């Protein structure tokens, strides 16, 4: 795979939209391409703070972090390859089409894991005086009804994700089952709480006892982080 590169005109355009200041009269050979490339590269986040979380072994978490890092690496590779094909005028090709399809899998694999890890590591329960609790009650009738639906969705046969989405147009909360990273997500949906129910998320610690993993997940939800995702201007 060829490395991604940009010419001066592309860099000047991008530096404009990214707010980068160039030194006037700087020779073309000194354009900081690595800086530009860095700004377009996704970096894996460090979730080692989760190690020691009750109900999740270090082995399971480290395996999961490694898998997540693979999605970040591949997202960068796919974007780099697509950029190169665009530059070379090779967009009307099967390779371009397949790579475009692949982007949804790798990008969402990256982002969904970030939402997942970031909504873990908390203790306690949702604040009953907060907006999140209020929205759950509005959408499901009660917090208990939401939790029952979310857990039941996670207990379904099959592997995937459970996502509490907020519809950004109506403000309503809906629990979604997502089979694969790249399919089934609601248009205009803001992920509020995400639970990974692929087997790698629990089998090392729980075998087939997925319900026990779901209970452990609930004991470790970071409700503060989750509430930050709420779109307060709706509903």
Contacts with Fe ion, residue ranges (CB under 5 A): 196, 198, 201
What 60-66 contacts at long range (C-beta under 8 Å, 24+ apart), as own/partner pairs, is 60/201, 60/202, 60/204, 60/205, 63/200, 63/204, 64/113, 64/196, 64/200, 64/201, 65/117
**Six-digit token string for 215:** 């209970």
**Six-digit token string for 110:** 């990256």
Q: Helix axis angle, 58-87 relative to 94-118, nearest 10°?
A: 150
**Least distance to Fe ion, CB of residue 200, Å:** 6
Pick between residue 108 and residue 175 the one whose CB is nearest to Fe ion.
108
Q: Are 149 and 163 in contact (CB under 8 A)?
A: no
Q: Are 154 and 214 in contact (CB under 8 A)?
A: yes
Q: What value does the CA radius of gyration of the chain take, rounded to a whole number of Å?
A: 21
Pick between residue 69 and residue 84 the one whose CB is nearest to Fe ion.
69
Residue with the two structure tokens 């190690």: 51
Pick between residue 198 and residue 218 the one whose CB is nearest to Fe ion.
198
Pick between residue 113 and residue 135 the one whose CB is nearest to Fe ion.
113
**Least distance to Fe ion, CB of residue 196, Å:** 4
Question: Closest residue to Fe ion, Cβ-based?
Answer: 196
**Least distance to Fe ion, CB of residue 214, Å:** 14
Pick between residue 193 and residue 201 the one whose CB is nearest to Fe ion.
201
**Least distance to Fe ion, CB of residue 109, Å:** 8
**Least distance to Fe ion, CB of residue 201, Å:** 5
């Amino acid at each position: 795979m060829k490395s991604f590169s940009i010419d001066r005109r592309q860099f000047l355009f991008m530096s404009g939209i990214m707010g980068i200041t160039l030194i006037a009269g700087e020779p073309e050979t000194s354009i900081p391409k690595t800086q530009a490339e860095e700004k377009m590269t996704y970096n894996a986040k460090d979730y080692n703070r989760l190690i020691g979380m009750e109900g999740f072994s270090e082995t399971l978490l480290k395996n999961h972090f490694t898998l997540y890092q693979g999605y970040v690496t591949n997202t960068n590779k796919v974007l780099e390859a697509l950029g190169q094909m665009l530059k070379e005028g090779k967009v009307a090709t099967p390779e371009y089409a397949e790579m475009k399809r692949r982007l949804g899998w790798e990008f969402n694999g990256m982002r969904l894991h970030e939402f997942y890890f970031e909504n873990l590591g908390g203790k306690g329960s949702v604040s009953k005086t907060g907006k999140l609790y209020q929205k759950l009650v509005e959408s499901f009738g009660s917090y208990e009804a939401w939790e029952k639906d979310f857990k039941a969705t996670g207990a379904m046969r099959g592997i995937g994700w459970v996502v509490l989405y907020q519809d950004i147009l109506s403000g309503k909360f809906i629990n979604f089952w997502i089979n694969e990273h790249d399919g089934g997500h609601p248009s205009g949906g803001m992920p509020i709480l995400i639970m990974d129910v692929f087997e790698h998320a629990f089998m090392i610690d729980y075998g087939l006892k997925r319900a026990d993993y779901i209970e452990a997940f609930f004991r470790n939800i970071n409700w503060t982080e989750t509430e930050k995702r709420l779109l307060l201007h709706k509903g």
